[in-house]
């Protein structure tokens, strides 16, 4: 890809199964936006939670992306190979007393906690605990009462007060794995990502990520959260459910369905090849066409490109 600007986008699938239509939509949105801005596009394998990794699915996802005509500008980054980097950042946050070890059981938290935006709000039970021994303990990030706002390119202004809305959240898990929230922030910064285009299920996570960026003095990327593809019952498609895998055998029909789902200008009678599709996508992509649905959009099951 000819990249002449400092736009740096990325696609960050978790290798927990085959690429499904929802991930394809996210990849198309991020790639089309990058192409239009003549930026660079990176792929990161989010295999930080190795307990959920499905053997072979990282390679399968990359193969599928290639078949769809996606091209990335750097070698794929694997989170599973970045443990020492995450540990360095975790140690820094603990040294600065911004994070603390927590051994509260879910039950104990549930007894005291109120329901927040995304699950229970951690009530600060272990906040005063200081312990050097972190093995088998979760590490939580200390949150505050300041309002954290950002301007999403589709959803507009979105604000949260983390202490009130979410509570001190986990950045390192009891099972020893780095939590997604920390890994994604460190990786986006280390890869120089300045444009994050991803599914709207992560809209509510964004203030936590921005808060971490502020604490770590990392630059803040721009965020765009695209509508989620849901099944007929309104649930997000998930790779673990083996939901609607896209077929590398019929990439053009998958790309056209994703384009339509993203509410983009109707394609001309062609294009007849994936190269033509991407040329068309580069010149016509318009993020302003994407509206936020009052209800999640439903991907008509029959329109989905199923694997045969």
Contacting positions for ligand GLU (CB under 6 A)? 12-14, 46, 184, 198, 202
Please, which residue, 57 or 264, has the CB nearer to ligand GLU?
57
Angle subtended at Cα 285 by Cα 301 and Cα 148, rounded to the nearest 5 degrees? 85
Spatial neighbors of 92 by CB under 8 A, at least 6 apart, are 216
Please, which residue, 13 or 254, has the CB nearer to ligand GLU?
13
CB of 44 to ligand GLU, least distance (A): 8
Please, which residue, 68 or 100, has the CB nearer to ligand GLU?
68
Please, which residue, 22 or 305, has the CB nearer to ligand GLU?
22
Please, which residue, 19 or 139, has the CB nearer to ligand GLU?
19
Phi then psi for 225, rounded to 5 degrees? -110, 115
CB of 254 to ligand GLU, least distance (A): 17
Residue 284, number of CB atoms within 10 A of its CB: 16
CB of 26 to ligand GLU, least distance (A): 7
Largest Cα span, the chain: 65
What is the spatial distance between Cα 294 and Cα 155, in angstroms, rounded to a whole number? 12
Please, which residue, 271 or 296, has the CB nearer to ligand GLU?
296
CB of 266 to ligand GLU, least distance (A): 28
CB of 23 to ligand GLU, least distance (A): 6
CB of 184 to ligand GLU, least distance (A): 5
């Amino acid at each position: 890809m000819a990249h002449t600007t400092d736009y740096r986008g990325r696609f960050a699938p978790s290798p927990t199964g085959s690429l499904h239509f929802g991930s394809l939509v996210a990849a198309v949105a991020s790639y089309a936006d990058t192409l239009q801005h003549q930026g660079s596009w990176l792929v990161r394998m989010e295999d930080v939670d190795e307990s959920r990794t499905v053997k072979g699915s990282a390679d399968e996802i990359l193969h599928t992306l290639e078949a769809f005509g996606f091209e990335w500008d750097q070698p794929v980054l694997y989170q599973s190979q970045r443990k020492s980097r995450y540990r360095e950042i975790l140690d820094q946050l603990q040294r600065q007393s911004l994070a603390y070890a927590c051994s509260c059981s879910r039950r104990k938290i549930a007894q005291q906690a109120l329901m927040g935006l995304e699950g229970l709000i951690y009530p600060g039970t272990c906040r005063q605990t200081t312990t050097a021994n972190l093995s088998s303990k979760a590490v939580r990030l200390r949150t505050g009462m300041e309002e954290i706002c950002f301007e999403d390119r589709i959803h507009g202004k979105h604000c949260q007060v983390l202490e009130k809305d979410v509570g001190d959240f986990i950045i390192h898990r009891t099972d020893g794995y780095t939590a997604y929230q920390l890994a994604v922030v460190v990786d986006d910064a280390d890869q120089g990502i300045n444009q994050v285009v991803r599914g709207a299920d992560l809209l509510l996570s964004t203030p936590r990520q921005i808060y971490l960026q502020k604490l770590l003095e990392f630059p803040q990327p721009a965020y765009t959260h695209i509508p989620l593809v849901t099944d007929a019952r309104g649930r997000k498609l998930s790779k673990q459910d083996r939901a609607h895998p896209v077929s590398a055998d019929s990439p053009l029909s998958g790309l056209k369905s994703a384009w339509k789902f993203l509410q983009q200008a109707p394609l001309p009678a062609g294009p007849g090849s994936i190269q033509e599709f991407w040329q068309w996508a580069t010149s016509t992509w318009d993020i302003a066409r994407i509206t936020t649905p009052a209800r999640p959009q439903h991907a008509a099951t029959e329109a989905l490109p199923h694997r045969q």
